Structure 1
Amino acid sequence: MSAFEPGNSLRVSLGQCSKAGRKAVNQDFHGAYVPREPQLSSKGVVVALADGISTSAVSRVASETAVRSFIEDYYCTAESWTVKTAAQRVLMATNAWLHAQTRRSEYRWDKDRGYVCTFTALVLKSRTAHVFHVGDARLYRLQDDNLEPLTREHRAWLEPDRCYLSRAIGIGEQLEIDYLALPVEAGDGFLLVTDGVYEHLSEARMRQLLAEHEADLDAAARALVHAAFEAGSDDNLTAQVVRVEEVPLGDAREAWSGEAELPFPPQLEPRMCLDGYRVVRHLHASARSHAYLAVDEETSHKVVIKTLATELREDPRHVERFLLEEWIAQRIDNPHVVKAHRPGRRRRYLYSVTEYIEGRTLAQWLRDQPRLELETVRRLVEQIARGLRAFHRLEMVHQDLRPHNVMVDATGHVTLIDFGSVRVAGITESRPEQAEEPLGTASYTAPECFLGEPATPRSDLYSLAVIAYQALTGTLPYGTEVAKARNRAAQHRLVYRSALSANRELPAWVDEVLRKALHPQPTRRFEALSELVHELRQPSPVFLKKSRPPLIERNPVLFWKGVAALLSLLVLVLLLE
């Protein structure tokens, strides 16, 4: 069977066969799914195999559940998740369900008779093969006529001829999954087989059968099963054969379902109509894009239309990032994140549309209120953190959190906008990332990004802490020095400026919380946004015990002025004597 999407896409051929063999019931279960675009690019192809254990009468239910739920649920996970995250979460949920079934059944005191099975899956996404394995089935890679095993059996041997499964789906509350990721090329093959096949066929014999039926992979799978049966196998027999016919070239524009092929709109002017939107006025211009206030003529809702800057329209990387903004907005539903506006009308041009937020940017808000009360800053931090957590739950990192990308309305409600720098794990894993300058604004970008390291949720936490520091002091914690520190030695020399030197009314423990959140080393910061939010309201004893820093740290100028005054007085006293 050949399955493919035309154009620059992953294309594979599949062959499968499963027989009960000499047993009355086939407790093996297998499945495969090749989706159409856009899921072919975002989630990939899944091939899965489960093998029930012979001591259990309900193991067939477990193996079927494991395969069906993996395939169905994997494609329901967030497109922004990596393959590893999505697959492991699905398998953990399946394991919990099967284990619970055993606990509620008559087999609760004998796990070997419960809802237990082995599981092996291959996920092919873009140019990478992802392997997930629990139990004693096997997955081989066939490359250049070599058959290489990619999994190992999870068996514990009691005697030379007696063993038991040490790991399986449903056998316990916790599940340990073997994971492997490796690059694939056109022509690579993969073979998934249960122990009823590989224990009775040598690798040389399997290579021979695969070569003989190279043109028909279903026939190859049947030949493997038949040969194992003829060799005396008394177990269930299942084989799946996969061949990668073509891998995508990795052109960024292909991931966006043709939207990148739309022409760019003409220059927008007030009262102009564009696909059912009436332009009201120009809102904002940056090096990357232009934003306009418009009205949806069908609903009378105010929206923001964003177009890509003219000088960037020939650069595929900037086109992809521009398209990614709306893609992200469509997948996050959070009151503190701006929402995409999709009326269902067909577009004739390449642009993005989001809801309109009535209010000011946080940058303007801070200019209007140069130094905020601590309670106001707490509420600000809490709202931004809620928005950031919506990104982090989907394995996204904002990377450009700054006052200009935060809107504050008349009630003080905060909304995050502008996703042009967001890093989406599920997309970046599809192709190698190219080294480039940090995408965020230098003053708010975490130090590790200037070393070429990928941004993480702790990088966003750092940016949020900079905003909190600025809101309380009107200054930046390291000035402009972070962007200049391009190696670890330089970063070790960065000196945190105590917030108390600019805000003497601030409790000393608040400064200690900010100091930790703004540490140049990400591992020395708080692990999660929730910790920062909690510590700003209910500090732990370690921060409360911190004494107020000496005057030389809080206000070096005042300290040295005092020293100079004392010296002057001392000199005057000596002269009078």
Structure 2
Amino acid sequence: MLHSQTQKSEHRFDKNKGYVCTLSAVIIKSTTAYLFHLGDSRIYHIRNGSPQQLTEDHRTWVSSEQSYLSRAMGIFPQLELDYSSLAIEIDDVFILATDGVYEHVPMDILQAFIQENLDDLHSAAKLIGDYAYSNGSTDNLSVQIVRVDSLPSQDAQERIQQLTELPFPPALAIRADFDGFKILRNIHSTSRSRVYLAEEIQQGVGKPVVIKTLSVDLQDDAASVERFLLEEWIAKRINSAHVMKPCIQTRKRDYLYTAFEFIEGQTLTQWMVDNPKPSLQAVREIVGQIAKGLQAFHRLEMIHQDLRPENIMIDNSGVVKIIDFGSTKVAGLMEMTSPIAQQNILGTAQYTAPEYFLGEVGAPRSDLFSLAVITYQMLTGKLPFGAEVAKTRTKSAQDKLRYRTALHDDREIPAWVDDTLKKALQPNPLKRYQELSEFVFDLSQPSQSFLSKNKPPLLERDPVKFWQGISAILVVIILFLLSHKST
């Protein structure tokens, strides 16, 4: 964003007014620090009292008193960042500072300020800035101090104990009282979990909720328990009208379970049964709401990975909500060094993006593919590739996949909608739409690319110009023949 603003500025060619910016960033995920650097700001790392400069100044010195930036945002059209990574430990300290600070504060004094204010790093940073200013600095004074206080557990047994500290509930009977809820009925049961409709009893007012419990057979399966609890963790972090919300509880739980809002309505699967030939507008409305829900995931660097009609609810007021987050991939958690296995959980094969079958990591374009399959199914009652995608485990096999047109005599589907679906359902993710918003937009009107490649001939668009052009060509030919004959 900063680089783009620089390149668009009216002063970008004026050395006195142009925007030039340095950038030093530390991103910490799990037990690794990722460093990105450009310019002459610096990143220091202190471990066990030993400081180390992790970045290189992009500055060229003409003399002992004169220098200039050799690389920074805004100097060149391209953006070249230095990149490195570092395994971190507890009590590691990172210092990010501009030249206005580090050129006027010796490292031993900088360390002393930090050591004396370990419990108040904000005060340490202010003292460092004040010292640089009093020592004659007239430049920008920016300093940030980061200390690593804790890291993810490295012990698998400890992790399992944290996840399973609550007992697993038994199978719950109808009308049974359970942890402040009254069980009303069984909604869904599998060998792995049970889902119940319950009533939350609070001050005599009952609120319907959905209770989900895990099978006791999985109590020693740490990965399954972790994925189970992750569903509620994800729901608490997504704020969207089109994503199922968790039930916020203030009281302490006595068992291991999750609680979500009860959505009174029907699944998209049932909706398609009830509406075998829906209007294009009805499909657009549903797809648009699903896309908004997915965008809420993607903004938080989450990929749903199991989008299918059974995991989409339409409530009685027509609001569409995405449910079931058991397969969701969360950026950052994938980098955890815990021995608990983290696998890419594939959804139902017919709706799963082809790249998953090649062992590739999912991306927002993978969810877009699943949404396009659902859109195709709503419009045609069929699947674009049938069950063929799951059988293709190589790039060459996927290159042979052939999209089945959505155009049929018994369905009124415009050709440009078929073209939109074809692009969204490309087996190669790089050839699909890059954004969900682009796909939804092109479902509403013909895209420019479609109009360009399906442009009618001049004879149909403007017959007068066509025949004028033909006449002009004939006149040129006649004149040429006459001049050739006279010679």
**2: CA distance between counterparts of 1:353 and 1:339?**
9
**What is the aligned partner in structure 2 of residue 422 from structure 1?**
328
Q: 1:531 to 1:124 in 2, by over 3 A?
A: closer
Tell me by how many angstroms 1:175 deviates. 12
1:264 has 2:168 as partner: yes
1:508 has 2:411 as partner: no
**1: CA distance between counterparts of 2:49 and 2:380?**
66
Q: 1:273 to 1:179 in 2, by over 3 A?
A: farther
- 1:76-104 per-residue CA deviation (whole Å, 9 max, x = no partner) reads xxxxxxxxxxxxx9xx69x99xxxxxx9x
Matches within 5 A, 1:528-547: 528-544=435-451
CA contact under 8 A between 1:472 and 1:503: conserved in structure 2?
A: no
Cα RMSD, aligned residues only: 4.6
**What is the aligned partner in structure 2 of residue 370 from structure 1?**
276
1:486 has 2:393 as partner: yes
**2: CA distance between counterparts of 1:536 and 1:291?**
36
Tell me by how many angstroms 1:505 deviates. 3.0
The amino acid that maps onto 1:538 is Q
User: Secondary structure in 1 aligned to 2:332?
Assistant: helix
1:184 has 2:184 as partner: no
**What is the aligned partner in structure 2 of residue 324 from structure 1?**
230
The amino acid that maps onto 1:480 is A
Q: Which among 198, 201, 207 is matched to residue 297 of structure 1?
A: 201
Tell me by how many angstroms 1:248 deviates. 3.4
Tell me by how many angstroms 1:155 deviates. 2.8
Q: Which among 364, 369, 376 is matched to residue 462 of structure 1?
A: 369
User: Secondary structure in 1 aligned to 2:420?
Assistant: helix
Query: Unaligned stretches of 5+ in structure 1?
Result: 1-88, 97-102, 104-108, 549-577
Matches within 5 A, 1:54-133: 120=24, 122=26, 124-133=28-37
CA contact under 8 A between 1:143 and 1:187: conserved in structure 2?
A: no
**2: CA distance between counterparts of 1:511 and 1:238?**
54
- The higher relative CO (CA closer than 8 Å, separation ≥ 6) is in 1
Q: Which among 254, 261, 273 is matched to residue 348 of structure 1?
A: 254
CA contact under 8 A between 1:435 and 1:452: conserved in structure 2?
A: no
**What is the aligned partner in structure 1 of residue 57 from structure 2?**
153
**2: CA distance between counterparts of 1:390 and 1:219?**
40
**2: CA distance between counterparts of 1:372 and 1:493?**
31
Q: 1:256 to 1:468 in 2, by over 3 A?
A: farther
Matches within 5 A, 1:163-312: 163-165=67-69, 178=81, 180=83, 182-186=85-89, 192=95, 247-250=151-154, 260-298=164-202, 299-312=205-218
| Range with greater deviation from structure 2 (193-202 or 518-527) | 193-202
User: Secondary structure in 2 aligned to 1:519?
Assistant: coil
Tell me by how many angstroms 1:513 deviates. 0.9
Q: 1:143 to 1:509 in 2, by over 3 A?
A: same
**What is the aligned partner in structure 2 of residue 136 from structure 1?**
40
**What is the aligned partner in structure 2 of residue 452 from structure 1?**
359
Tell me by how many angstroms 1:309 deviates. 2.8
Matches within 5 A, 1:353-432: 353-431=259-337
Q: 1:255 to 1:367 in 2, by over 3 A?
A: farther
1:524 has 2:428 as partner: no
The amino acid that maps onto 1:162 is Q
Q: 1:239 to 1:335 in 2, by over 3 A?
A: closer
| Range with greater deviation from structure 2 (424-433 or 309-318) | 424-433
The amino acid that maps onto 2:30 is S
Q: 1:181 to 1:405 in 2, by over 3 A?
A: farther
The amino acid that maps onto 2:269 is A
CA contact under 8 A between 1:189 and 1:241: conserved in structure 2?
A: no
Q: 1:285 to 1:122 in 2, by over 3 A?
A: same
- 1:335-357 per-residue CA deviation (whole Å, 9 max, x = no partner) reads 11111111311111111111101
**2: CA distance between counterparts of 1:201 and 1:545?**
62
CA contact under 8 A between 2:365 and 2:432: conserved in structure 1?
A: yes
Tell me by how many angstroms 1:249 deviates. 3.4
Q: 1:130 to 1:356 in 2, by over 3 A?
A: same
User: Secondary structure in 1 aligned to 2:416?
Assistant: helix
Percent of aligned pairs with the same residue? 48
TM-score, normalised relative to structure 1: 0.63
The amino acid that maps onto 1:490 is A
**1: CA distance between counterparts of 2:332 and 2:48?**
30
CA contact under 8 A between 2:170 and 2:216: conserved in structure 1?
A: no
**2: CA distance between counterparts of 1:332 and 1:255?**
25
CA contact under 8 A between 1:438 and 1:450: conserved in structure 2?
A: no
CA contact under 8 A between 1:436 and 1:452: conserved in structure 2?
A: no
**What is the aligned partner in structure 1 of residue 471 from structure 2?**
none
User: Secondary structure in 2 aligned to 1:306?
Assistant: strand
Q: 1:319 to 1:191 in 2, by over 3 A?
A: closer
Tell me by how many angstroms 1:408 deviates. 1.6
| Range with greater deviation from structure 2 (255-264 or 406-415) | 255-264
**2: CA distance between counterparts of 1:186 and 1:518?**
45
The amino acid that maps onto 1:475 is K
CA contact under 8 A between 2:305 and 2:328: conserved in structure 1?
A: yes
Tell me by how many angstroms 1:297 deviates. 1.0
The amino acid that maps onto 1:401 is L
The amino acid that maps onto 1:510 is V
TM-score, normalised relative to structure 2: 0.73
**2: CA distance between counterparts of 1:307 and 1:344?**
19
